[in-house]
A = this chain, B = another copy of it.
Amino acid sequence: MPETPLNVAVIGAGYWGPNLARNFHGSTDWRLRAICDLDTERAGRLAASAGGVPVLSSVEELLLDPELDAVAIATPARTHHLIATAALAAGKHVLVEKPLADALVLGEQMVQMAEDAGLILMADHTYCYTPAVLKIRELVAAGELGEILFIDSVRINLGLIQPDVDVFWDLAPHDLSILDFILPGGLKPARVSAHGSDPVGAGTACVGHLVLELETGAMAHIHVNWLSPTKIRQLVIGGSRRTLVWDDLNPQQRLSIYDRGVNLSRDTGEDERSASNISYRLGDTWSPALPEHEALAAMVTEFAASIRTGRPSLTSGSAGVRVLSVLEAATQSQKTGTPVRLLPTRELESAS
């Protein structure tokens, strides 16, 4: 017997809200109940295309609706905390567009509040629900890559320079949320170094390099760039057994897994390591077939599933907090010019 659909409202009818509304409208898990935006005209257009649902301009009024189970927040980042805490206070489950908030401490408060209220707080880390990233997570978890030796993520293109956000806060949440999703235990770097530059005088960093020293000793590097005339979205995960390359712009071969690499015999009786212990492996390359589905459809399904079972969603509020902690460290590292050591974020997975 199918379960009764949950009622959800989308707050924010700008760039991202229509995608959320379309997917909630198309899901059997959900009943889209309202669109909420100060600009009621664009809210109205969105509502018309999504089944003709009601339009509201007031979040307060929306949250008074006792039938409403959840809200999806697609407003500017600086408003996430205010709206999310109001929704949680009203007993609603909350999905928040990335980044979770515009400051780490605010994100932590949101997670704590959801935990205390026994509500789901989910981060809309959409990329994590693409077929490619789900497959990468599965391969890493199954040990197919072995230990992770290095990570390199490149996300560059001509991009919209924004005066109030730098290239790290604009683009790196994608890479960071993906790393958090695929690394066993989540993304918990020991130290973060960020190098940004603003060569066009835009008033904010337009080119950025982020170096994360992972707990395991491996290094992850992320290149984000608004000024590149060529578009690259590529992630390389070098492992002790195999290395994976995800080329998101190559639809004919998005994932390639190379059975090549360096072998190091570690069972030497002596303490010293030498080049003689190192050998190379040149094996096959393999490109798994990927199912075709829209990431957002899988995401709204996961939101419903976590509400119904009470378990944290795959991209929980805590995942959003881990991403924020790296972004804040990146901002700090740029100011001081030195690596920033991260404190462990509080683990709140049990309830959020």
Q: Interface residues, chain A, CB within 8 Å of chain B?
A: 147-150, 152, 158, 160-163, 191, 193, 195-203, 206-207, 209, 211, 213, 216-219, 221, 223, 225-231, 236, 238, 240, 243, 245, 252-253, 258-262, 264, 266, 273-275, 278, 280, 282-289, 337-339
Contacts and interface: CB of A to CB of B under 8 A. Distances in A.
Contacts of A196: 219
B202 A273 contact: yes
Given A201-B273, A221-B209, A262-B226, A287 B289 contact: no
Contacts of A275: 160-163, 202
How many monomers of this protein are in the complex? 4
Contacts of A273: 163, 201-203
Nearest to A159: B262
A266 B201 contact: yes
Contacts of A147: 199
Given A209-B211, A228-B238, A261-B229, A200 B287 contact: no
Contact of A238 (B163, B203, B227, B231): B227
Contacts of A158: 260-262, 280
Nearest to A273: B203
B207 A150 contact: yes
A196 to B, nearest CB: 8
Nearest to A150: B207
A289 B259 contact: yes
A287 B288 contact: no
A236 B229 CA distance: 10
A272 to B, nearest CB: 8
A216 B199 CA distance: 9
A148 B200 CA distance: 10
Nearest to A209: B221
A337 B337 contact: no
Given A163-B275, A199-B218, A227-B243, 18 more contacts: A149-B207, A150-B197, A150-B207, A193-B195, A195-B221, A199-B238, A201-B264, A203-B274, A229-B258, A229-B261, A230-B236, A230-B252, A260-B289, A284-B288, A284-B289, A285-B286, A285-B289, A338-B339
